[in-house]
């Protein structure tokens, strides 16, 4: 082995140990001998569910984000409330849905490989497949996560909020070992899905003492959002698609930010720091650059793990 090859190998091993030292060691071939067909099963379940309901991919991707940001990617977001109120019933998570897709995948996998595959891994596969089925990039999901036994609604306050400014976002991500590039790339998940009025109300009503509407929000979009989300007599599930191509995974999100047409304060905030603003411009001009960065950041985020077991039922600890 050459000295340069040895150095690259050493660097890779160092990065590997840094990422996985806090949880279980993950590997790309974890199920090679115990459940080789696991990813094919999840892909099939996600694809079939998406054919029946186009909102499934956005729901599964968001579910995975919300899982990883609380106690690591340990499927704690899947646990049902019992004696205590679980994460899924915390305020930011009440609009999560498509849990049945994970249940269906788990049932199919248990029939083939009982007691082998964690719910946390199934959710990580499903998030990747959701991006692929929507036209986005694919990546090799590291495997071997364990499922957690604890889930508390009170801890959902740790999730980054749509009202966050750039300093709050940076702190939230850095606490989880994620960089500013990870922040901008992972925010691109907002290319999929739908937002209820509550997530952007702060920008269109009583923004501050001087302005009713956030002055950085494009006036045309502001007028549209105010008509959809009036202060009084609002429709129960009123809201807006995250972007006009809300079922297609693309880089439209970044183009909208540059036009002041993003929905959340936390999206607009990416323009308030020179580095994040530069990355927004890079991703807006190159879908390939965004796809590559997103895949890398998903691998990094999905490797935060701290579970203890392989659940038999994804909704209940063993």
Note whether 62 and 193 are within 8 A (CB).
Answer: yes
**Residue ranges for the binding site?**
67, 72, 74, 76, 87, 160, 190-191, 243, 250
| Alpha carbons 290 and 300: distance in angstroms, whole number | 15
Instruction: Report the alpha-carbon distance of residue 215 to residue 22 in Å, rounded.
Output: 43
Angle made by CA atoms 236, 186, 79, in degrees to the nearest 5:
60
First-to-last C-alpha distance (Å) of the chain: 47
Q: Which residues contact 228 (CB under 8 A, 6 or more apart)?
A: 197, 238, 239, 240
Please list, in sequence order, all residues whose beta carbon lies within 8 angstroms of the beta carbon of residue 270, skipping any fewer than 6 positions away.
166, 183, 184, 187, 257, 276, 277, 279, 280
Binding-site entries for substrate: 160
Angle between helices 119-133 and 38-52 (to 10 degrees): 50
- 97 assigned to active site: no
Please report, in range form, the residues annotated as the binding site for Ca(2+): 67, 72, 74, 76, 87, 191, 243, 250
Per-residue buried b or exposed e for 238-267, using 16+ beta carbons within 10 Å of the residue's own CB: ebbebbeebbebbbbbbbbbeebbbbbbbb
Q: What DSSP character marks residue 225? A: H
Q: Are 26 and 125 in contact (CB under 8 A)?
A: no
Binding-site residues for heme b, in ranges, read 190
Residue 33: count of CB within 10 angstroms of its CB: 7
Q: What is the largest CA-CA distance in the chain?
A: 71
Query: DSSP assignment of 41-96, as one string?
Result: HHHHHHHHHHHH-TTHHHHHHHHHHHHHTTTSSSSGGGPPPSSS--GGGSGGGTT-
Please pick, among 64, 66, 205, 211, the residue that the annotation labels catalytic. Answer: 66
Residue 80 near residue 86, CB atoms below 8 Å: yes
What residues act catalytically?
66
């Amino acid at each position: 082995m050459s000295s340069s090859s040895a150095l690259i190998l050493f660097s890779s091993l160092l990065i590997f140990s840094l990422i996985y030292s806090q949880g279980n060691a993950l590997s790309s071939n974890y199920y090679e001998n115990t459940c080789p067909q696991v990813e094919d099963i999840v892909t099939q379940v996600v694809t079939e569910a998406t054919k029946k309901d186009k909102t499934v991919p956005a729901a599964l991707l968001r579910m995975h984000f919300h899982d990883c940001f609380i106690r690591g990617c340990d499927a704690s977001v899947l646990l049902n409330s019992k004696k205590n109120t679980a994460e899924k019933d915390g305020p930011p998570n009440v609009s999560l849905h498509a849990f049945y897709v994970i249940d269906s995948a788990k049932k199919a996998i248990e029939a083939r490989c009982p007691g082998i595959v964690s719910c946390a891994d199934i959710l990580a596969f499903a998030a990747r497949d959701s991006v692929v089925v929507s036209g986005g990039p694919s990546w090799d999901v590291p495997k071997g996560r364990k499922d957690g036994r604890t889930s508390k609604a009170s801890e959902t306050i740790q999730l980054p909020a749509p009202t966050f400014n750039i300093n709050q976002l940076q702190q939230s991500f850095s606490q989880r070992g994620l960089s500013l590039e990870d922040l901008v790339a992972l925010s691109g998940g907002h290319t999929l899905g739908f937002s209820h009025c509550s997530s952007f109300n702060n920008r269109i009503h009583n923004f501050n003492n001087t302005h009713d509407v956030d002055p950085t929000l494009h006036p045309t979009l502001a007028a549209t959002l105010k008509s959809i989300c009036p202060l009084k007599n609002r429709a129960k599930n009123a809201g807006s698609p995250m972007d006009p191509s809300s079922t297609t995974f693309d880089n439209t999100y970044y183009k909208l930010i540059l036009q002041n047409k993003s929905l959340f304060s936390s999206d607009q905030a990416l323009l308030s720091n020179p580095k994040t603003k530069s990355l927004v411009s890079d991703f807006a001009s190159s879908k390939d650059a965004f796809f590559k960065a997103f895949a890398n950041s998903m691998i990094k985020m999905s490797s935060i793990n701290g579970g203890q077991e392989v659940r038999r039922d994804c909704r209940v600890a063993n």
